Amino acid sequence: MNRRFLPTTMAELQKRGIEQLDFVYVTGDAYVDHPSFGHAVISRVLEAHGYTVGILAQPDWKDVESVKALGKPRLGFLVTAGNMDSMVNHYSVSKKHRKTDAYTPGGVMGRRPDYAVVVYCNLIRRAYKDVPIIAGGIEASLRRLAHYDYWSDSLKRSILMDSGANLISYGMGERSIVEIADALRSGMAISDITFVDGTCYRTKHLEQVYDYVLLPDYEALCREKRNYAESFYRQYCSTDPFTGQRLVEPYGTVYVVQNPPAKPLTTQEMDDVYDLPYCRTWHPMYDEAGGIPAISEVKFSLVSNRGCFGGCNFCALTFHQGRIIQTRSHASILQEAAAMTEEPDFKGYIHDVGGPTANFRQPSCEKQLTRGVCRDRQCLFPSPCKNLRADHSDYVELLRKLRALPRVKKVFIRSGIRFDYLLADQNDTFFRELVKHHISGQLKVAPEHVADSVLHTMGKPPHSVYLKFTEKYHRLNREYKMNQFLVPYLMSSHPGCSMKEAVQLACYLRELGSMPEQVQDFYPTPSTISTCMYYTGLDPRTMKPVYVEKNPHYKALQRALIQYRKPENYAMVEEALKLAGREDLIGFGPKCLIRPRRQQNQEIHVPGTGPKESGTMRKKHTALPEKSSKARKKTIRNVHKKKKG
Residue 401 is part of a domain; what is its CATH number?
3.30.750.210
Burial pattern 83-113, b for ≥16 Cβ within 10 A else e, equals bbbbbbbbbebeeeeeeebbbbbebeeebbb
Residues of the chain with pLDDT under 70: 1-2, 598-645
C-alpha angle 214-457-264 in degrees, rounded to nearest 5: 55
* CA nearest neighbour of 135 among 163, 174, 103, 175: 163
Residue 126 Cα to chain centre, angstroms: 33
Distances (CA, A) of 212 to 238, 243, 256, 322: 11, 13, 12, 20
Tell me the C-alpha distance between 378 and 386, whole Å: 11
Tell me the C-alpha distance between 420 and 192, whole Å: 46
85 and 139 Cβ atoms separated by less than 8 Å: yes
What CATH number corresponds to the domain at position 117?
Answer: 3.40.50.2300
* CA nearest neighbour of 582 among 498, 496, 500: 500
Tell me the C-alpha distance between 412 and 222, whole Å: 47
Number of domains into which the chain is organized: 4
What CATH number corresponds to the domain at position 505?
Answer: 3.30.750.200
Cis preceding linkage at 382, omega within 30: yes
In a domain, 328, yes or no: yes
Residue type, 175: R
Which residues make beta-bridge pairs with 151? none
What residue numbers bound the domain in which 349 lies? 300-438
In a domain, 479, yes or no: yes
pTM: 0.90
Is there a single domain that holds both residue 405 and residue 468?
no
The kind and range of the H/E element at 79 are: strand 76-80
Is there a single domain that holds both residue 159 and residue 79?
yes
What residues have CB less than 8 Å from 248, skipping those under 6 apart? Answer: 206, 209, 212, 213, 214, 215, 255, 256, 257, 258
Tell me the C-alpha distance between 579 and 572, whole Å: 10
C-alpha angle 35-39-45 in degrees, rounded to nearest 5: 70
In a domain, 234, yes or no: no
In a domain, 281, yes or no: no
568 and 502 Cβ atoms separated by less than 8 Å: no
Q: What pLDDT shows up at residue 638?
A: 52
33 and 281 Cβ atoms separated by less than 8 Å: yes
Is there a single domain that holds both residue 386 and residue 463?
no
What residues have CB less than 8 Å from 12, skipping those under 6 apart? Answer: none
Instruction: Please state, as a whole number, how many other Cβ atoms lie within 10 Å of the Cβ of residue 544.
Output: 8
Burial of 626 (0-12, 13-18, 19+ CB in 10 A): exposed
Is there a single domain that holds both residue 471 and residue 504?
yes
In a domain, 449, yes or no: yes
Is there a single domain that holds both residue 448 and residue 354?
no
Q: Which of 385, 414, 438 is the last residue of a domain?
A: 438
Is there a single domain that holds both residue 431 and residue 463?
no
What residues have CB less than 8 Å from 115, skipping those under 6 apart? Answer: 86, 87
In a domain, 536, yes or no: yes
* CA nearest neighbour of 258 among 329, 200, 312, 214: 200
Q: Which of 144, 166, 198 is the last residue of a domain?
A: 198
Burial pattern 456-481, b for ≥16 Cβ within 10 A else e, equals bbbbbbbbebbeebbebbeebbeeee
Q: Classify residue 581 as left (phi > 0), alpha (psi -120 to 50) or beta.
A: left
| Model confidence pLDDT, tens digit, residues 33-68 | 999 999 999 999 999 999 999 999 999 999 999 999
Tell me the C-alpha distance between 645 and 640, whole Å: 9
In a domain, 2, yes or no: no
What are the two backbone dihedrals, phi and then psi, of residue 161, each rounded to the nearest 5 degrees? -75, -30
In a domain, 313, yes or no: yes
Is there a single domain that holds both residue 557 and residue 611?
no
How many Cα atoms occupy the beta-carbon half-sphere of 369 within 13 Å? 11
Is there a single domain that holds both residue 382 and residue 509?
no
Is there a single domain that holds both residue 111 and residue 52?
yes
Is there a single domain that holds both residue 427 and residue 445?
no
The kind and range of the H/E element at 53 are: strand 53-57
Is there a single domain that holds both residue 434 and residue 356?
yes
Is there a single domain that holds both residue 362 and residue 408?
yes
Q: Which of 198, 232, 261 is the last residue of a domain?
A: 198
Tell me the C-alpha distance between 526 and 314, whole Å: 10
